[in-house]
A and B are shown apart, each in its own frame.
Chain A
Amino acid sequence: MSAAPVLEVRGVTKAFGEREVLRGIDLTVSEHEAVALIGASGSGKSTLLRCIDLLEEIDDGDVFLDGETITDPAVDPVAVRRRLGLVFQAYNLFPHLTALQNVVLGETRAHGIPRAEAEQRGRALLARFGLAGREDDRPDELSGGQQQRVAIARAFSGRPRALLLDEVTSALDPELVGEVLAAVRDLKGEGMTMVIATHEMSFAREVADEVAFLHEGRIIEQGPPERVFDAPQQAETQRFLRRLAGH
């Protein structure tokens, strides 16, 4: 594993009005590493990912991508987002475009790749995630699991340095969760650097190299999955895991 971190978050805070959502987050993600963010709803997982992708402006702290301070106001956020991929909980596919067009839009418009080449790559990506033959379907003709796999292909198509996954299975029917997790596993297998906000503890245990537990805007416990899941040190972590196990 290379020593230079791909992503580094240092002292990041973010408030929406009076509500402090992030209260000083530190997180380092190395090349080829997958970090799982766990924690209750409202603990700040989504906000952290949105801040890293510069969809939210942070109040304090820094985010580094390959050593560059991307939260510096002088940095062009569009150029930064082209180096990252984000997958949303609710897919957020473009409903007026086909599956293939969804994947290709960023390629041709943001990355300046010729259409023919982008479409060829897009077809290959869709096929890789089990969507061969669905290229010309619109999002409303696809199941939730298929839509989320299109969204993963779309986020991955720009060859991002890191992929940010925001509870990508939370909106899915239980029987569709597996196919989406398989796509993430596949990307992990090829060495994709990832930050995965998730409620799927068994998946986090399987795929993540590192697990960070967020509680009220702070990472209060972090470590390899076996340590965080099997021998949590903090009372809050123990309570959270016990509550999940109870269901």
Chain B
Amino acid sequence: MNLKLKVPSIPIEGSISYEDWLKGRRYRRELSKLVAPGVIRRKSSSSDRRLKKLFNGERGLPFTPTEKL
């Protein structure tokens, strides 16, 4: 694709700064959700017991909504 990027990309060579990585979060989420809407966290895994104990029956902290990224 030949789209003008809205945010700094995560490069192959070199590194991305923390600030630039934060800036790109919303755009990356929006792109991801074009092909896989919603939360796609696995429903179960071998770590369920420890995860659910720590996260009040969930498998992790809730994801920040896209509009708040």
A and B: partners?
no
